[in-house]
Structure 1
Amino acid sequence: MNSIVFWNCRGAKKKKASLYLKEIAKEHKVIFVGLLETKLSFIYSKEVDSLIGIGWDFNYLPSAGLSGGILVMWKSRMTSYNVIESYSQFIIGYMDIPLIVKWRIATSYGSKEVHKRRDLWNGLEPYISIDFPLIIGGDFNCLLAKEEKKGVRRFIMSLGPKEMKSFFISNNLYELKFMGPMFTWSNNKKGQDRIMERLDRMIVNSYSVNTNKILVVKHLTRITSDHCPILLNLNSSSPKISKSFKFENIWASYPASFSVMQNVWRRKSLVLLLIFLILK
């Protein structure tokens, strides 16, 4: 089951972050990773090998000093990823799993400032299609409801959340259901000073919802960063129900089985008779 993961790692050079990322990639068969706040101005192949292992291609947006930065990585023997645009708050491209599926995936790192975050919505909008599967994932730095915040400073439906909701509605975008902890970020303080929020999420378009109804996000354990990694299994599908009938010899040893079969044959005979009369 192939998966993708987005994570605000708060520094891609941390050894513990690398160990955790490798564990996630192995356990969940991850083929695409979107890392946020890498804090890296330049990224080389050896650094990617050290971070996640050998056999991954990558593309990145450099950080501004020690702030920000986006790194996308994909398992080259399993998939390809062709970047169509890199901007200050996102990288978007086509991920192609040969003979299986093709997705348009955007890794997003929204600005904390409302007026700058508008560039994210405006930049993504041209790539939202109703006839191609799309995933937008990452840290949006924005809450949408009071239930997404716990701690001091109560949630207010200000201009930022309103613009984000408007972006979702006008482009027929939907949030995926999730498993795991409600809050994806914490300030790691204790007692009354502790704040927890849901800043990280995955968004899909209507095409994705209509073609796969059971896509579910998992909020993984928060380790080495103040953000949870969020993971999606791309192979989720409705369970197949076998319609074949197999007769077991042991059934013949039960006297009741004969009456059951007689009733079934009578019903079938009646249906066939009715069809014959209608067609006649």
Structure 2
Amino acid sequence: MVGTEPSHEHHGDPPNAQQHADAKPTDVNDDGECLEDAGTVITWNYQGAASKNFLRAAKMLLKKHHPDIFCLMETKTSGDNADTVCCKLGFENWARVEALGFSGGIWVFWSDALQVEILTSHPQFVHMAITEPSGRRWNLSMVYGSPSGYLRRRLWNALSRNKIHVNYPWLIAGDFNAIVSNEECTSTSSPGAHRNSDFKDWIFDEALFDLGFSGQKFT
């Protein structure tokens, strides 16, 4: 399967049952029919992960949902401080993309049940190969698209099948900082057709489809 998580323009609210993104990757046969579900993947844009409030909220989220993969975007924390927070979340396995100053940052955590190989680490995404206990394999890309249009165009160019290793069903999830239509934004002013166009062109070029979402339309 190939798919993208729905993107939203607003993030950082305290978490509840409807404010995290849950995606279950599946295999797709030659007729496009989805096969069995895999484990749970939770992605969350918290906009800063160094506070005690974050740790308390994250531990509650993990206790409730027991995800196999947990990804945080826009952590705004790097270096030793980031390592300290990561260690407190209770995962034995994790990898990070450093925040640039107080912006960006991607953290990925996974359970011991999975074998995860980091194939590409980029300022705006982490691309991985996942092997489940059953032996089934799939690719996962966790994304935090830059708010800068110039840098985000680098993301669309870099996150391409032709430039990274995509050998299995592919799930892409995260915060793209882009939308496919103005209906996905609460702002009364249009974010710009070019912003939509770049994102939609990338989805089309990579033969992706949107998995949709459950819960509130806007976070």
TM-score scaled by length of structure 1: 0.59
User: CA 1:169–1:24 in 2, change beyond 3 Å: closer, same or farther?
Assistant: same
Amino acid at match of 1:96: T
After TM superposition, give the deviation of residue 80 of structure 1 in Å.
2.1
Q: Is 1:27 equivalent to 2:70 in the alignment?
A: no
- For residues 151-197 of structure 1, the C-alpha deviation after alignment (integer angstroms, 9 at most, x for no partner) is 34x2255212101101111211011121100013xxxxxxxxxxxxx
Q: Which residue of 2 aligns with 1:7?
A: 44
Question: What are the equivalent positions in structure 2 for 1:1-280 lying under 5 Å apart?
Answer: 2-43=39-80, 46-50=84-88, 52-53=89-90, 55-75=91-111, 77-125=112-160, 126-127=163-164, 129=166, 132-152=168-188, 154-184=189-219
Partners of 1:24 and 1:30 within 8 A in 2: no
Q: Distance in 2 between matches of 1:71 and 1:38?
A: 8
Q: Distance in 2 between matches of 1:100 and 1:16?
A: 38
After TM superposition, give the deviation of residue 100 of structure 1 in Å.
4.8
Partners of 1:25 and 1:31 within 8 A in 2: no
Q: Distance in 2 between matches of 1:146 and 1:42?
A: 37
| Percent identity over paired residues | 28
User: CA 1:162–1:24 in 2, change beyond 3 Å: closer, same or farther?
Assistant: same
SS of the residue aligned with 2:147?
A: coil
The aligned length equals 179
User: CA 1:88–1:45 in 2, change beyond 3 Å: closer, same or farther?
Assistant: closer
Amino acid at match of 2:100: A
Runs of 4+ in structure 1 displaced over 6 angstroms? Answer: none
TM-score scaled by length of structure 2: 0.75
Q: RCO higher in 1 or 2 (8 Å CA, sep ≥ 6)?
A: 2
Q: Distance in 1 between matches of 2:145 and 2:84?
A: 28
Q: Distance in 2 between matches of 1:83 and 1:171?
A: 20
- For residues 211-269 of structure 1, the C-alpha deviation after alignment (integer angstroms, 9 at most, x for no partner) is xxxxxxxxxxxxxxxxxxxxxxxxxxxxxxxxxxxxxxxxxxxxxxxxxxxxxxxxxxx
Q: Which moved more, 1:7-16 or 1:160-169?
A: 7-16
User: Larger Rg: 1 or 2?
Assistant: 1
Alignment RMSD: 2.0
After TM superposition, give the deviation of residue 128 of structure 1 in Å.
7.1
Q: Which has the higher helix share?
A: 1
After TM superposition, give the deviation of residue 78 of structure 1 in Å.
1.3
